[in-house]
Amino acid sequence: MASGFFALLDDIAALMDDVSIMSKVAAKKTAGILGDDLAVNAEKASGFVSSRELPVLWAIGKGSLLNKVIILPIAFLLSAFFPLAITVILILGGLFLAYEGAEKIHEFFFHKHKETPALLQEVTEAEILALEKSKIKSAIVTDFILSVEIVIIALGTVLNEPLLTQILVVSLIAIIATVGVYGIVAVIVRMDELGYKLIQKGSKEGGFLKTVGKLLVQALPKIIKSLSVIGTIALLLVAGGIFVHNIDFFHHLFPDLPAIVKEFSFGLLIGFVVLGIVNLIKMILGKKTTTSH
């Protein structure tokens, strides 16, 4: 009986060792997408009133965790019984990410007048809450697609392993992705608060604490602005990467181009094609609505 118990412990230790090794491999494979995930979500989680930043981030984080709870069992089932569906889902997700990136670029160049201080002052509390809810929903939808990509890449590294190892490794990567990414985002969006506290604790002007505090306060607006650009680039890179790695035509096209240039270019081009189609559909539907009235 005792020997059986120790044999079981030995099997568990061996399994944990395998999981640890495979998790490191999966983490390396998903490092790029995790960086994109961080940039995109940090940009989406910023821009709220200071007192609402952490509650909003918590809401997005819970949505992200729920996304992964939904994705994981579906990914394991599809991988086992219908692997083609994973590719189709990835490509559809890529189209959405490319569209979102292209829309941000289009908004920046053609609709700058939409966001002005005067307009922001006239917004009511109800409108602010509605905008907040809309932004949370948008962030969770984007997170869902990025989470699919993370789970699929992690799953690809352990496809030849036993099912239990697959479940443990991919689930661990999913948890790290959620806690790690949103933990870092929380630090970024609260940099100014930390800066003000350091300034208050600083005993003298020009001291270490005051200097670091001022640096954090001054750096935050620049980081937030840069995150918008980085997040948009990340969306297009992820989308382009999905197209290049899952569609043979794109994969073999322009083989001499650096991967990052190729992926960004395809993401940008396809994004604007999708944006054009969506805008055309909106225009047609708008005309039909006007005609019916």
Query: Is the model more confident about 273 or about 11?
Result: 273
Q: Give whole-number Cα distances, 228 to 44, 105, 146, 231, in Å.
A: 8, 10, 17, 5
Q: Give whole-number Cα distances, 181 to 38, 115, 144, 147, 235, in Å.
A: 5, 28, 14, 11, 16
Residue 246 lies in a domain: yes
Cα 103 to Cα 232: distance, rounded to the nearest angstrom:
9
Has residue 277 got a pLDDT over 90? Answer: yes
Cα 202 to Cα 213: distance, rounded to the nearest angstrom:
9
SS3 content of the chain, % helix, strand, coil (to 5): 90, 0, 10
Look up the domain containing 276 and give its range: 17-292
Q: Do 41 and 169 touch, CB atoms closer than 8 A?
A: no
Q: Can you tell me the mean pLDDT for 260-289? A: 88
Residue 9 lies in a domain: no
- What is residue 256's three-state secondary structure? coil
Q: Do 216 and 198 touch, CB atoms closer than 8 A?
A: yes
Has residue 117 got a pLDDT over 50? Answer: no
Contacts of 167 (CB under 8 A, 6+ apart): 72, 76
pLDDT of amino acid 282? 85
The percentage of residues in the chain with a pLDDT greater than 70, rounded to a whole number, is 70
* Number of domains within the chain: 1
By the 10 Å C-beta count (0-12 exposed, 13-18 middle, 19+ buried), 39 is classed as buried
Maximum mean pLDDT: which of 11-25, 107-121, 231-245: 231-245
Mean pLDDT of the chain: 74
**Across 111-115, 149-153, 218-222, 226-230, least confident range:** 111-115
CA-wise closest residue to 182 among 37, 47, 61: 61
Has residue 8 got a pLDDT over 60? Answer: no
pLDDT of amino acid 285? 81
Cα 275 to Cα 101: distance, rounded to the nearest angstrom:
10
Query: Running DSSP on this structure, what letter comes out for residue 253?
Result: S
Query: Is the model more confident about 25 or about 137?
Result: 137
Query: Is the model more confident about 62 or about 47?
Result: 62
Query: Is the model more confident about 137 or about 1?
Result: 137
Residue 7 lies in a domain: no
Cα 119 to Cα 123: distance, rounded to the nearest angstrom:
7
Q: Can you tell me the mean pLDDT for 43-56? A: 66
Cα–Cα–Cα angle for 219, 221, 223, nearest 5°? 65
Q: Can you tell me the mean pLDDT for 43-48? A: 61
Maximum mean pLDDT: which of 55-59, 95-99, 274-278: 274-278
Residue 52 lies in a domain: yes
- In tens, the pLDDT along 65-107 reads 898 888 888 888 887 788 788 778 878 888 888 898 899 899 8
* Residue 115 pLDDT level (bands cut at 50, 70, 90): very low
What's the predicted TM-score (pTM) here? Answer: 0.65
Residue 220 lies in a domain: yes
- What is residue 13's three-state secondary structure? helix
Residue 85 lies in a domain: yes
Cα 41 to Cα 46: distance, rounded to the nearest angstrom:
8
pLDDT of amino acid 2? 47
Residue 181 lies in a domain: yes
Q: How many CA atoms lie within 13 A of 29 on its CB side?
A: 19
Has residue 198 got a pLDDT over 70? Answer: yes
- In tens, the pLDDT along 259-272 reads 889 989 999 999 99
Q: Can you tell me the mean pLDDT for 172-199? A: 77
Cα–Cα–Cα angle for 30, 156, 239, nearest 5°? 55
Residue 3 lies in a domain: no
Q: How many CB atoms lie within 10 A of CB 192?
A: 18
pLDDT of amino acid 275? 93
Helices 259-292, 208-246: crossing angle, 10 deg rounding: 80
